[in-house]
Amino acid sequence: MPPVKTAAKKTVKTAKKVTLDDVWATIDEIGKAHKETEVGLRELQQAHKETEKALKETQRIVGDLGNKFGDEAEYTMLPGLPEKFKQFGFDFGVINRNRKINNAKHDIHAEIDAFLENGTQAMAVEVKAKLQNSDVDDHIKRMEKLRKYADIFGDKRELFGALAAVVVDEKSKKYALKNGFYVIEPSGEDVNIIKPGSDPGVW
């Protein structure tokens, strides 16, 4: 008779009993983790506030420097412009600095760094530390506002535009000239005025 095979004994692992102490220990660990998360979140929020504060202070400093640089550019480049524009046939007897136009009724608001004028013509000059294409676009809009404002009050003078900057790259210079603006740039201790290749823009 063949031997009788006995069934293999199965080892059954008994589940660890969870006591009330285990439950409280787990709850305590969760509480500690939650507190650590809250502390970490508060520290992160505080760091974010400090970063925002530092960024605003940096922007303020940069803005102040930009304003001072812009003021210096105006002081350096604007004097003598009426005399220099004579080479292009202009005879401006008056130069007004920082002229502001505000007309709430027609929603016209503009500020001009220098406004050269006589009885038949006027030249609006915008001064920048560094000339960019966006400055040209802004000056086009400014000239359109000036034209609208002049028409409202019956001022039929021809309006011309110029852009002056301490730093003028070739790309921005060409863009300004293409749009009919005179470009004023440093030349040694003096300034040089460049006429648009085609006829100057008249607004």
Closest to 162 in 3D by CA, of 193, 198, 118? 193
The residue with tokens 């009724």 is: 105
**Comparing C-alpha atoms, which of 179, 8, 160 is closest to residue 91?**
160
The residue among 35 and 59 whose pLDDT is bigger is: 35
Beta bridge partners of 13: none
Cβ neighbours of residue 154 closer than 8 Å, sequence gap 6 or more: none
- Percentages helix, strand, coil for the chain (3-state, rounded to 5) are 45, 25, 30
- Of residues 2 and 83, the one with the higher pLDDT is 83
pLDDT tens column, 85-94: 999 999 998 8
130, 150 Cβ separation under 8 angstroms: no
Task: With beta carbons less than 8 A apart as the criterion, state whether 165 and 148 touch.
Answer: no
Instruction: Estimate the crossing angle of helix 170-178 against helix 133-152, to 10 degrees.
Output: 30
Confidence label for 74 from pLDDT (cuts 50, 70 and 90): low
Percent of the chain with pLDDT over 90: 52
- Predicted pLDDT of residue 21: 75
The conformational region for residue 154 under phi > 0 = left, psi -120 to 50 = alpha, else beta, is left
DSSP 79: T
Q: What is the reported pLDDT for 26?
A: 82
Task: Give residue-wise pLDDT tens across range 96-148.
Answer: 988 999 999 999 999 999 999 999 999 999 999 999 999 999 999 999 999 99
End-to-end CA distance of the chain: give it in Å, rounded: 122
At residue 29, the pLDDT reads 84
CA–CA separation, 102 vs 111, rounded Å?
Answer: 9
Single pTM value for the model? 0.65
| Residue whose entry in the numeric block shows the structure tokens 């969870």 | 18
- To the nearest whole number, what is the mean pLDDT of the chain? 83
